[in-house]
Amino acid sequence: MKNNYSIFSLIKNSLSYHEDWQQAWRDPEPKKEYDAVIVGGGGHGLATAFYLAKKHNMKNIAVVEKGWIGGGNTGRNTTIIRSNYLWDASAGLYDHALKIWENLSQELNYNVMFSQRGVMNLAHNLQDVRDLKRRTHANRLNGIDAVWLSTNEVKKFCPIINTSPDIRYPVLGGTLQRRAGTARHDAVAWGYARGADAMGVDIIQNCEVKGIKRNGDHVEGLETTKGFIKTKKIGVVAAGHSSVIANMAGIKLPLESKPLQALVSEPVKPIIDTVVMSNAVHAYVSQSDKGELVIGAGTDAYVSYTQKGSHDIVEGTLKAILELYPIFSRMKMLRQWGGIVDICPDASPIISKTNIKGLYFNCGWGTGGFKATPGSGDLFAHTIANDEPHALNAAFNLNRFVSGDLVDEHGAAAVAH
Amino acid sequence: MFIINCPFCGERDQSEFSAGGEAHIIRPKQPTELSDDEWADFLFMRKNIKGVQFERWNHAHGCRKWFNVIRDTSNDKIHAVYKMGEKPPTK
């Protein structure tokens, strides 16, 4: 039984100099057989396991992770959370996640530091203005909060933005979702891991999947670096490495894996209390609680599994940042990193069954998966437990690439993917 | 970030080129005969290999010609470059 985190546990543990805190999750060896195995111990995978145990009473399950939990894209993103997507299917999916975020710290008994500081998207040309206004209307029809801001209102909301009309890409206005914001990425992985572990889920780290055993049209288990694990249901949540796992099962996915970069600056005093994103110049920035500017750059245009990314991508992003925020011109960048993102042709995710019975994929989140973590886990757990998608993820099936019923969020989703 | 040896211009920085994705995907000879599954396979499904991959590149900021590259996507090392229409080198 896990002890609850509270002010009382904090006081109690301070008496023993914080040396006797209970282990947050176990480090078990894999059992011979599970009812379901989740491949990938990032936020989405751990959330899937958590909701399988909590809502679907599947407790004899495991999460296998080749590295350490939250060590992939969960720990390599800019932590932006929003739901202002254009299409109905996306709005349903991302707002479902946002609603779970709003109560997630309580649900997990773990502070994920969810901060609804608002996300502002800037328009830099007349087409941007039309697109963003259209999206604002679409959002409001779907019950998602969104407002259009004039250039003066943008300046008032975030005074450090250069709204001068004579910059290369002048700010012609913007949209604001006030319920949007950021969260602490590591805490999301740790909170879900602790919660899932408390319900009996085995989280097995340093355990790489080497093969998927199939018997005709259904799965029988997984070959891993810690031996064979028998199971009838495999949920793959492997982000950039989804295609690698798919190849093991003998299927192809409509994905391309590319490096996506982010960088943080040296820590400074509070200067920007919201998240500002710009599609046209591809720059987005927020400030962490430590004071670092968190800056998102673009993806490299070629397939690569190297967690690096090209210098010219960073250069382009920083040029745009400097034009929009001249005040940052003397800041030093502290760290830069790349994560491998799996991009779908329509920039929408796949949460789906496959042609192989018992094999499920949750992938294709591309550059924007973090925001969906709780909703993705919840809906994927539903899909695995019932062998049928939930109404909210029915549109995000793998078959849409055959039927042509795509959910095209390219450009429509408020940032370039 | 790497150097590509353009078969027409020589060694240039990768930022001069644009990536054209997986190579040797054969355009269907009889598009009207294709089933939905075959169309999906042609249009969307990709090998997305972690390891040695055959791909197309275009020297967009140079000679603007297309050619093929064999590259290891796990470390971005280029094994070979060959022209369009040529068979990939066997070694």
B68 CB near a chain A CB, below 8 Å? no
Distances (CA, A) of A6 to A10, A20, A192, A334, B6: 6, 15, 17, 34, 62
pTM for the full predicted model: 0.96
Contact list, B1 vs chain A (CB under 8 Å): 308-312
Tokens of A30: 């894999």
Along the 417 residues of chain A, how does pLDDT read in single tens digits?
A: 578 999 999 999 999 999 999 999 999 999 999 999 999 999 999 999 999 999 999 999 999 999 999 999 999 899 999 999 999 999 999 999 999 999 999 999 999 999 999 999 999 999 999 999 999 999 999 999 999 999 999 999 999 999 999 999 999 999 999 999 999 999 999 999 999 999 999 999 999 999 999 998 999 999 999 999 999 999 999 999 999 999 999 999 999 999 999 999 999 999 999 999 998 888 899 999 999 999 999 899 999 999 888 999 999 999 999 999 999 999 999 999 999 999 999 999 999 999 999 999 999 999 999 999 999 999 999 999 999 999 999 999 999 999 999 999 876 555 554
Would you state the pLDDT for residue A410?
79
Altogether, the residues listed in chain A come to a count of: 417
Q: Measure in Å the smallest separation between the Cα of B90 and chain A Cα atoms.
A: 22
pLDDT the model gives residue A355: 95
Q: Is B30 on the interface with A (CB under 8 A)?
A: no
Alpha carbons A343 and A96: distance in angstroms, whole number: 22
> Look-up: residue for tokens 């190579």?
B23
Distance separating alpha carbons of residues A164 and A171, to the nearest angstrom:
8
By C-alpha distance, the chain B residue nearest A243 is B48
Q: To the nearest whole number, what is the mean pLDDT of chain B?
A: 95
Q: What is the pLDDT of residue A281?
A: 85
For residue A308, the chain B residue with the least C-alpha distance is: B1
Q: Provide, as residue numbers in chain A, all residues whose Cβ is less than 8 Å from the Cβ of B43.
A: 345, 401
CA-angle at A19, arms to A14 and A25, nearest 5°:
110
Q: What is the pLDDT of residues B18-57, one digit of tens each?
A: 999 999 999 999 999 999 999 999 999 999 999 999 999 9
pLDDT of residue A416: 52
Q: How far is B26 from chain A (nearest CA, A)?
A: 16
How many interface pairs between A and B have CB atoms less than 8 angstroms apart? Answer: 70
Chain A residues with CB under 8 Å of a chain B CB are 241, 243-244, 247, 252-257, 301-306, 308-312, 342, 345, 401-404
What is the residue-wise DSSP string for A14-50?
HHTTT--PPPSS--PPPPSEESEEEE--SHHHHHHHH
Sign of the Cα pseudo-torsion (A343, A126, A132, A393, in order) = negative
Q: Which residues of A140-170 are buried (b: 16+ CB within 10 A; e: fewer)?
A: eebebbbebbebeebeebbeebebeeeeebb
Report the DSSP pairing between strands A227-231 and B52-58. Answer: unpaired
Nearest-CA distance A307 → chain B (Å)? 9
Q: Which residues of B touch A310 (CB under 8 A)?
A: 1, 14-15
**Domains, chain B:** 3-83 (3.30.2270.10)
- The minimum CA-CA distance between A341 and chain B, rounded to whole Å, is 12
Task: Provide the pLDDT for residue A411.
Answer: 61
Q: Does B61 touch chain A (CB under 8 A)?
A: no
Please name the residue of chain A whose CA is at the shortest distance from the CA of residue B45.
A254
Task: Give the N- to C-terminal CA distance of chain A in Å, as an integer.
Answer: 43
Could you tell me which of A77, A291, A107 has the C-alpha nearest to residue A184? A77
Indicate the residue of B1, B36, B50 with minimum beta-carbon distance to A311.
B1
| Contact yes or no for B47 and A243 at CB 8 A | yes
Nearest C-alpha in B relative to A246: B47
- Supply the ipTM of this predicted assembly: 0.95
